[in-house]
A and B are shown apart, each in its own frame.
Chain A
């Protein structure tokens, strides 16, 4: 997994509430057996017109944000289906972190497992960030994970909280399965006990 340390880039405002994973990655892009080609599907119905041309009204099609490394999002982002394809697609267009007030649980975990940092801020902080990055001149920010802060182009610094376990795993780009399997003996002995206490399992 690609480690996340300090990342700079432009941040695109996309503040609608309840953006679900069907909108992030529509069904027609879910028919693969690998992770390829999901950059095309990301926000497909919003990013492209019926003609197939990019929709100039969509934020990621505007020059200041077309190479955005961050999305600043509305509440309950990523709700709905568990499809991890949504996060794979975000990663494939270059999104490294999301900033919002709340994320749906499965989506939040999917981000973590793909090295995409999902940062939770307060409503007031979100307004402040959105106010600055919505201006093309000041759209660039820096996200510093080790120090848990977001630096805006106007000099403001926004601190954020994150679980230390998540932070370490993102900083180091840890393989979660490898880490867990170091405890294989412990799992095996728990399992033996658990199955003997609940033999119908």
Chain B
């Protein structure tokens, strides 16, 4: 009799071309790849130099997202020579190797991890790899997604496989019910704070529990997306009816009989009763408060009602040094209430939190209010389709009336590879995923939080508990 397997093990077993040794290495078949303009060029050059063909061009979808401007008027030209060269080489590579490309003027353009699910390009049971660490997002659809470097992109383009070592498995059980104004972003931030920025290194996480079941598919994507900030090389949620309903409407979902056949198979995608995980973590969210980061690593976070911590209370020398360095960089003093932290910028965007539901959350907070006079506030929708939908729903007008910039789609100020860059000393409330030193601009300071929390901070001008706003349903 077969022993019970985890969802992770099922994915790896069903995609193993052959084992490569007895230490857990396998040749793993990859169903889908998403490519961007900045991590792929050297991979394509390698293919050209070796005279290799792309193994299965239809398995790859290419999207321009990292370097393009997000100015409200969209133009094809990149403002800087480097970005222009990357985009034109990307176009050339896609053309020569037969890969479908969404360029900046395409109506379906956007951030790769927003676009791929939106197109139905990612389905339950798939194994997906891409040259971007946030490929973990796809776990919310019951797919196994993970980030790879450029050498691996080349390997994948050439062979549709990767040399892969099996991970350990961690089950995170999320119990309880989220309060009003508390979101899936707060769940994942609390988990990262709890287990640390390398707490899941070497693991694939499966999220289970009533609080996960309650979430929408988009909210689940936020959790899987940021699991990599705890070091996870993959994050899963078993697909359910919400996922099937989400997918059924997407352009590339299977139709008719094939849809029924697919769903029947997808219903088997869950960990078996009695499957053993290498590590178990439990989180209760009944009392969870909105979270914000105070430091320069995603695990340096606290409830918004809390205080900047004191490094002197940290017994471990390296961690204490890290905290002190973070506070020096962030310009914060121990003991300061987090709600006293005054911001200069508010950024709503990224593959973590720029989907339509995120924008609806923001609109509920800012409707009829105005951004604080000292704050520059930007909204960069996750995709052009999200942008169009937000305009149809009247959200864009609410944002503009409240004093937000309403921009085109791209990765933008999440990592500031385009011209959306903060200046030294700027302090940004950000719906993104990384608060690293210099991430949003050299010397700039990032506080991570949910989109609703960014919206609240934009209005008051300082970090603010969004629950103090009267939220419409």
Contact = CB atoms under 8 A, between A and B. Distances in A.
A114 B123 CA distance: 32
Given A30-B38, A80-B436, A187-B29, A15 B318 contact: yes
Interface of B: 14-15, 17-18, 20-21, 23, 25, 27, 29, 31, 38-39, 41-42, 45-46, 50, 52, 55-56, 67, 80, 82-83, 85-86, 89, 123, 125-126, 131-133, 146-152, 154-155, 158-161, 163, 165, 197-198, 201-202, 231, 233, 254, 258-259, 261-262, 265, 297, 299, 318-319, 321-322, 325, 415-417, 434, 436-439, 442
A34 B434 CA distance: 26
A26 B438 contact: yes
Contacts of B125: 198
Contact of A110 (B126, B149, B259, B442): B149
Contacts of B318: 15-17, 74-75
7 contacts: A34-B42, A35-B42, A83-B39, A83-B149, A104-B231, A165-B23, A184-B159
Contact of A84 (B83, B151, B415, B437): B151
B159 A18 contact: no
A86 B29 CA distance: 27
Contacts of B416: 27
Contact of B197 (A18, A35, A81, A201): A18
Nearest to B233: A105
Contacts of A114: 151
Given A105-B201, A184-B159, A45 B438 contact: yes
Contacts of B39: 82-84
B231 A79 contact: yes
B21 A16 contact: no
Contacts of A18: 197-198, 297, 299, 322
Contact of A104 (B46, B83, B151, B201): B201
Interface stretch (A61-69, A141-149, A150-158, A173-181): A173-181
A20 interface: yes
A76 interface: yes
Contact of B50 (A84, A177, A180): A177
Contacts of A180: 27, 155, 158-159, 161, 163
Given A17-B297, A22-B438, A31-B38, 19 more contacts: A16-B322, A18-B197, A18-B299, A23-B437, A23-B438, A26-B442, A31-B67, A31-B85, A32-B82, A33-B42, A34-B45, A80-B133, A83-B149, A105-B202, A106-B148, A164-B21, A177-B159, A194-B15, A201-B126
Contacts of B80: 31
Nearest to B23: A163
Given A26-B442, A187-B17, A33 B86 contact: yes
A87 interface: yes
Nearest to B437: A23
Interface in A168-201: 176-177, 180-181, 183-184, 186-187, 190-191, 194, 198-201
A96 interface: no
A109 interface: yes
B93 to A, nearest CB: 9
A95 B259 CA distance: 52
A164 B133 CA distance: 26
Contacts of A17: 297, 318-319, 322
Nearest to B441: A27
Nearest to B418: A27
Contact of B233 (A32, A75, A102, A106): A106
Contact of A187 (B38, B85, B132, B159): B159
